[in-house]
Structure 1
Amino acid sequence: MLELIFSALITIVPDYLYRRYKQGKRWGHEITLFNVWYELRWGLTACAILAVTLITIIFYFHPSTRKVTAVFRTVTILSDRGGRVAEVYVTNNARVKAGDAIFTLDTTRQEAAAETARRRIEEIDATLGLIATEVATAEARVKAAEAELSQAENDLQRRLSLAERNDTVVSEQELERLQTAVSGATSQRVAAISARDGAKLRQTAVLPAQKESARAVLQEAENEIAKSTVFAEVDGTVTQFLLKPGDIVNPILRPAGILVPEISGQGRFVAAFGQISASVLKPGMLVEITCASKPLTIVPMIVDGVQNTIAAGQFRPGDALVDSQDRARPGTVTAFLAPVFPRHLEGIPPGSACIGVAYTSRAKEIDKGEITGLSAFFARIVDGMGIANAIVLRAQAILLPVKTLVFS
């Protein structure tokens, strides 16, 4: 409307004044509703061309969007394992600090496993005390076997010496008996040494390994018990949290709730502009927004960054070829907005829906001499045309409560 009025002032009005005062034609006589097109054809044609040109220039260099959102991040409240809720420490919409306990899962099975591991460790410690006695007994048996072997060998050696001097003194049967005694003593010595080595192996390797295994089981059970309590990782507000003791929680199928961090969404807005504005949107551009959650207020923002990809073109490998015509929506250019004055965002909760207008300004390029002459003149004019969108945005901010509360 503003563009049409402006175009009419410099096209239709001069045409009418020329015909009225230069040609002497009067409204209602020579100029009527029936021949207004013929009489004012030059002004009407020029007005239409100029209005379309102005609208195109304004909306191209000063793009507007109805999709500005104060995005914020949420943290899903999950436990490391599934289980039944034993105790709940907070209520829905409660504010929590980092490290506060939120809920605890039942740990009966884990506590039983931990107690079993402790008893196993105590049993192994007792066995280690007993195995020292077994090692000492085995050492005594080895010494006894060695003494018996030495005695048998000495007896056999004496009898053999006697037999060499006089073979009638010692019989063959006695020599065989002594040799058998030596063989038996040797076997007993080997058995005693084996028993001693086995006892020492249990003392130095087997039982300590069993003890370490029991400690590992105990540590695992204690870790499971520690992970049964879910804590808040950041300061925030617990929402959609309706857990009660006895409920089943599963980290994959059934989360417990959502935690909204306090710092999430503060001063960070995301705007979606049409793809035709991709070449115009630059970091540093001034943007004005107005939000439904804070009506009658214009908030100045600045483009903090522009996403260099359009989400509609993303591709994920699958088992079917992708056809571009299957993509219904063309996608938008995503721009990230930051406030010029952070205090102006007070009263705008995260998630608010807003509308905004971006303004192209080439004043710096003109001041640096990068744009000169006629180009600088037209650049000034184009930059100044942003006042039309600024007026429209303020009109929308004024009419928004009326449209929402009365005509919605």
Structure 2
Amino acid sequence: MFELFLCSILTILPDYLYRRYAQGKRIGREITLYSMWYELRWGITACLLLTVSLITMIFYFHPSTRNVTAIFRTVTILPETIGRVEEVYVEVNGKVEAGAPLFRLDGSEQEAALETARRRIAEIVAETTVAQTELAGVDGLIQEAQGAYQMAVDEHEMKAQLVASGAVSRREVERLATAIDSRKGAVDAALAKKETLETQIGVLFPTQKASAEAALAEAQVELDKTLVRAGVAGTVQQFALRPGDVVNAMLRPAGILVPENAGRSTLIAGFGQIEAQVIKRGMIAEATCVGKPFTIIPMVVTDVQDVIAAGQLRASDQLIDVQQMGQPGTLTVYLQPLFPGGLDGVPRGSSCIANAYTNNHDALADKNIGTFRWLFLHAVDTVGLVHAMILRMQAVLLPVQTLVLSGH
């Protein structure tokens, strides 16, 4: 409507002034409702053509969209294990800091496993003490076995010398030789027992203790999982958890945590695909939001997504007909405030209207630019003012449209 009014000033009004003052035709006499088309046909035709051209130029080089949202990410409050809630530390809409406890599950099973691991460590320590005591006793047995062995050797040597004189029988000497072998076996057994005890004390028991300590640490981790903490600072929403509720990480989350700074710095806009060659990173933009009426927020395009979500394909067991993707998608554009605090006061998730403006300053500064291109680029930059005025009119009319004309 604004474009039509502007174009009519440049086309229909001069045509009427010519008819009125050059030809002497007046409204109500020569120019009536029935003869208006014939009398002002050149102005009306030029007005329609100029309006269509102006609207096309404005919306192509200075695109606009109503698909703008202050999107924010939420964090689902989930425990790492299934359990029954024993204690709740926060309420709905409560503010929490990072690491603050939210609720605690019943940890009796984990506490029992933790106590079992502690007892196992104590048992291994006791076994080590017993082995050390046995090791001290084995030293005495070794000395006793070595003494008995030496006595058997001495007696055998003495009686072996008396065999020739006939004072000792050969069978007695053979018995003493067998006794020496027996005493030698006792010494070897005592030494082997000592080596076994030393291996147990030096290798086996420390390894078992390390395994038990690892089991203790694992049990402690499982017990710590029963206390659910906030991963980031934010606000707890939809948190209707009460003691006795069963929480399941797969089927029944506890609530939602809205991060403190989520949605405070970026607007995400969906522009038409036809503007893909116009919208570039660094373009100046403006936005007005329903949650903050009568306010124009200067923005800048920080990123343009190079894919359109409507064309994505996920592998499945069925062939995809391209007709199912016939609905055109939008070009996702990320907008950030041009000045710090630009989105302060805008509720997260608020719907907005945004304009992006083409800037040809660098092209116009080129000394080799042609005259027609110079005029065209000047016209492109000039009509951006029209779109900026339209956005301000929308910002003024937005509350009226939302509260009155929408019927709510």
Structures share fold, TM-score greater than 0.5? yes
Report the Cα distance in structure 1 between the residues aligned to 2:196 and 2:282, rounded to whole angstroms.
Answer: 81
Q: Which runs of 5+ in 1 are unaligned?
A: none
Look up the match of 2:197. 199
Report the Cα distance in structure 2 between the residues aligned to 1:344 and 1:149, rounded to whole angstroms.
Answer: 97
C-alpha contact (below 8 Å) 1:273/1:332 kept by paired residues: yes
**Residue type of the partner of 2:152?**
A
**Residue type of the partner of 2:281?**
P
Show CA shifts across 1:250-309 (max 9, x none).
Answer: 333332222212222113111111111111112332222211111222222222222222
1:14, distance to aligned residue in structure 2 (A): 3.7
Look up the match of 1:159. 159
**Residue type of the partner of 1:334?**
T
1:87, distance to aligned residue in structure 2 (A): 1.3
Report the Cα distance in structure 1 between the residues aligned to 2:324 and 2:135, rounded to whole angstroms.
Answer: 81
Look up the match of 2:261. 263
Does the residue aligned with 2:399 lie in a helix, a strand or coil? helix
Which is worse superposed, 214-223 or 340-349? 340-349
Look up the match of 1:72. 72
Report the Cα distance in structure 2 between the residues aligned to 1:324 and 1:284, rounded to whole angstroms.
Answer: 34
Look up the match of 1:287. 285
List aligned pairs for 1:3-402, cutoff 5 A. 3-19=3-19, 22=22, 31-163=31-163, 165-166=164-165, 168-369=166-367, 371-402=369-400
Report the Cα distance in structure 2 between the residues aligned to 1:386 and 1:158, rounded to whole angstroms.
Answer: 126
Report the Cα distance in structure 1 between the residues aligned to 2:366 and 2:242, rounded to whole angstroms.
Answer: 66
Which is worse superposed, 174-183 or 329-338? 174-183
Report the Cα distance in structure 2 between the residues aligned to 1:74 and 1:293, rounded to whole angstroms.
Answer: 20
**Residue type of the partner of 1:324?**
V
Q: Identify if the C-alpha distance between structure 1 residues 85 and 370 changes in structure 2 by more than 3 Å, giving closer, same or farther.
A: farther
Report the Cα distance in structure 2 between the residues aligned to 1:248 and 1:179, rounded to whole angstroms.
Answer: 79
Which is worse superposed, 213-222 or 40-49? 40-49
C-alpha contact (below 8 Å) 1:79/1:250 kept by paired residues: yes
**Residue type of the partner of 1:257?**
G
Report the Cα distance in structure 2 between the residues aligned to 1:344 and 1:212, rounded to whole angstroms.
Answer: 57
**Residue type of the partner of 1:60?**
Y
Report the Cα distance in structure 2 between the residues aligned to 1:304 and 1:173, rounded to whole angstroms.
Answer: 108
**Residue type of the partner of 2:378?**
R
Q: What TM-score comes out, normalization by structure 1 length?
A: 0.90
Over the matched positions of the two proteins, sequence identity in percent amounts to: 50
**Residue type of the partner of 1:114?**
L
C-alpha contact (below 8 Å) 1:366/1:372 kept by paired residues: no
Report the Cα distance in structure 2 between the residues aligned to 1:126 and 1:284, rounded to whole angstroms.
Answer: 72
C-alpha contact (below 8 Å) 2:271/2:332 kept by paired residues: yes
Q: What TM-score comes out, normalization by structure 2 length?
A: 0.90
Does the residue aligned with 1:260 lie in a helix, a strand or coil? strand
**Residue type of the partner of 1:197?**
E
Q: RMSD over aligned Cα, in angstroms?
A: 2.4
C-alpha contact (below 8 Å) 2:73/2:262 kept by paired residues: yes
Report the Cα distance in structure 1 between the residues aligned to 2:376 and 2:357, rounded to whole angstroms.
Answer: 15
1:31, distance to aligned residue in structure 2 (A): 4.9
**Residue type of the partner of 1:250?**
N
**Residue type of the partner of 2:374?**
A
Does the residue aligned with 1:376 lie in a helix, a strand or coil? helix
Report the Cα distance in structure 2 between the residues aligned to 1:391 and 1:371, rounded to whole angstroms.
Answer: 29
